[in-house]
Amino acid sequence: MKKISRMLLLLIVINNFLFAENLKEIDEKKIEIVNKEQNEEVNTGQDFTKPLTRFDIRGKYQSFDGNESNALTVFRMDKPVVLENEWKLAFRTDIPVGFSNRSNEDTFGSGDLLGQLIVIAPQGDKNWTWGYGAQTVFNTASEDNLGTGRNQLAPLLGIKADFKTERLKGFTYLLIRDHNDIGGDSDRKKQDYLIVQPAINFNFSKGRFITIAPEMKLEDGEWFVPFSILVGKMVTPKTVVSLEYKTPIYDKNKEYNNELEFRIGYFF
């Protein structure tokens, strides 16, 4: 009887030891998974070098002098294509529709169609990469107040660098677009100008992010420099919402007084 008791006691000790080792392995795996998740950044769609297949609905409101305003809805579609050696093509299309009461006239209709293509170099193990391409604006607006009346071709060049600290992750980039007028309505102003867009993006926990990316415009030798801030959150792994506010800091070329844009985007 004593031998049986000793054998049972020995089996219990061995079982507890093995069970403890299994628990230790499970805990280590959990810790490894958590650490991996913490180190991986969520792609919120703000980085032009990491394009996503997506569909956005953007509601934009602009105010001008004299109680004039634009209220637009922009349908945006993005599609990346991965090439050999990890080069990427990023396609984008914007289709705007909306309302305007500028020039003492209430109008509703479609705006100018926008198309964009960026060729993006592989980043690899580096903390930076770059891209080049072009943006095209087509004179498709149904009303004068909703478009420029001119076609434009804008070569673009951009460079981006990631940064990461113990508490902060994100990236910064610089995009430059040179807009060139390529024809349109003869009674409308030609669209020749330069866009310089420095940006910095901070990623926080739970899919939250802040982006500061003002589009500075140089036209006819005069600058338009806005303040811009965007706050956003990934509300699901494939859905993003954001709110952006812009207002002029330096405004020799009158663009707008205030601009507010709400966005909801779905990633495929």
Q: What is the mean pLDDT of each run of 10 residues along the chain (268 residues)?
A: 48 46 45 43 93 98 93 98 95 97 90 98 96 98 95 98 87 98 96 98 95 97 96 97 97 89 98
Strands 113-120 and 88-100, by their bridges, are antiparallel
Tell me what pLDDT residue 26 has.
42
Helix (H) or strand (E) holding 37: helix 2-39
Query: What pLDDT does 6 receive?
Result: 53
Q: Would you tell me how many other CB atoms lie within 10 Å of the CB of residue 113?
A: 16
d(CA 245, CA 250): 16
What three-state secondary structure class fits 41? coil
Tokens describing residue 245 = 């506010």
Question: How many other CB atoms sit within 10 Å of the CB of residue 6?
Answer: 10
DSSP 8-state assignment for residue 47: -
pTM of the predicted model as reported, rounded to 2 decimal places:
0.83
* Residue 39: predicted pLDDT: 47
Instruction: Note the pLDDT of residue 73.
Output: 98
Is residue 186 classed exposed, middle or buried when 0-12, 13-18 and 19+ CB atoms within 10 A define those classes?
exposed
